[in-house]
Amino acid sequence: MRGKITFIISLFVFILPLLFLNCSDDDQDASPLTLAEATHKVLAEVLDNDLDSLLFYRHPDKIMPGAEFEYLYGGAPDVPYIVEKASWFFFIDDLPGARWVHPCRWILVPENGGDIEITDEQWPPEVQLDMLLYYTLDTATNLVISSIIYDSLDFKDLYYSTSIIAAGVSIGYPSGGSYTAVRDSWFFFIDDHPGLDYAHPVRYVFVEIWGGETQIYNEQFPPDIQLEMYPEFTAIEP
């Protein structure tokens, strides 16, 4: 009997380190958060998927341990802002359009999936210069109107997609060709001569949701996609 007990204890002592080793291996094998996954965490857990009345930025590169941030306009926080873990960095401007100082948030999402770190601030970080703004549909529409149509809808009709066109998705047109979204984008269609029979000059516009970079294509026919008209919100059928 004593021999059996001694054997069981010895077996337990042998197996126990292996159990901890396996747990450690599992932790090491856990996939780090991608930028897209970290973005979704911030949208869901911090912003409740509500981007109204604020500006949302993200840094395209991972921030490594030891990095220290200062304010965009010079100076440093009273408490040094030092990154302790490899993380993705986000910035939220809670009062866009207001002069600084005003409320904003600096956000770190550890790539290992740890707790989101939120720091309430009054100034933007210096790395905002390297960050990309998230373009909501409204922001993208304003960009098209101001920078492509030049604030004039006279003799033009503007249509837009109500959902994001994912990277790699193509927008076709009647002759059988298509244009592909390079990155996740909003899609706009500009009819430069409304009322004329087709073919006549029109434009296809992709506005990337991160950074607002645009791709413009000149065409002769409307696209094969259902769109809404700005500002009357009248549907255009494919």
* Rounded Cα distance, 45 and 60, in Å: 20
* Rounded Cα distance, 216 and 136, in Å: 19
Label residue 237 by pLDDT band (50, 70, 90).
very low
List the helix and strand counts (H, then E) for the chain: 3, 15
Label residue 188 by pLDDT band (50, 70, 90).
very high
pLDDT tens digit string along 165-182? 999 999 998 878 899 999
Label residue 76 by pLDDT band (50, 70, 90).
confident
Residue 187 near residue 164 (C-beta atoms within 8 A): no
pTM of the prediction?
A: 0.80
**The two three-digit tokens of residue 209, written as one number:** 């949701």
* Rounded Cα distance, 194 and 153, in Å: 11
Please give the average per-residue pLDDT across 112-126, as a whole number. 92
Helix (H, G, I), strand (E, B) or coil at 167: coil
- State the maximum Cα–Cα separation within the chain, in Å, rounded to a whole number: 99
pLDDT tens digit string along 194-209? 989 999 999 999 999 9
pLDDT tens digit string along 10-27? 433 343 343 333 443 444
* Rounded Cα distance, 74 and 99, in Å: 16
For residue 95, which phi and psi values (nearest 5 degrees)?
Answer: -135, 65
Please give the average per-residue pLDDT across 139-160, as a whole number. 90
C-alpha distances in angstroms, 165 versus 45, 170, 185? 24, 8, 5
For residue 147, which phi and psi values (nearest 5 degrees)?
Answer: -105, -15
Give 53's contacts (C-beta < 8 A, 6+ positions apart). Answer: 94, 96
Least Cα distance to 169 among 157, 154, 186, 155 occurs for 186
Helix (H) or strand (E) holding 142: helix 137-147
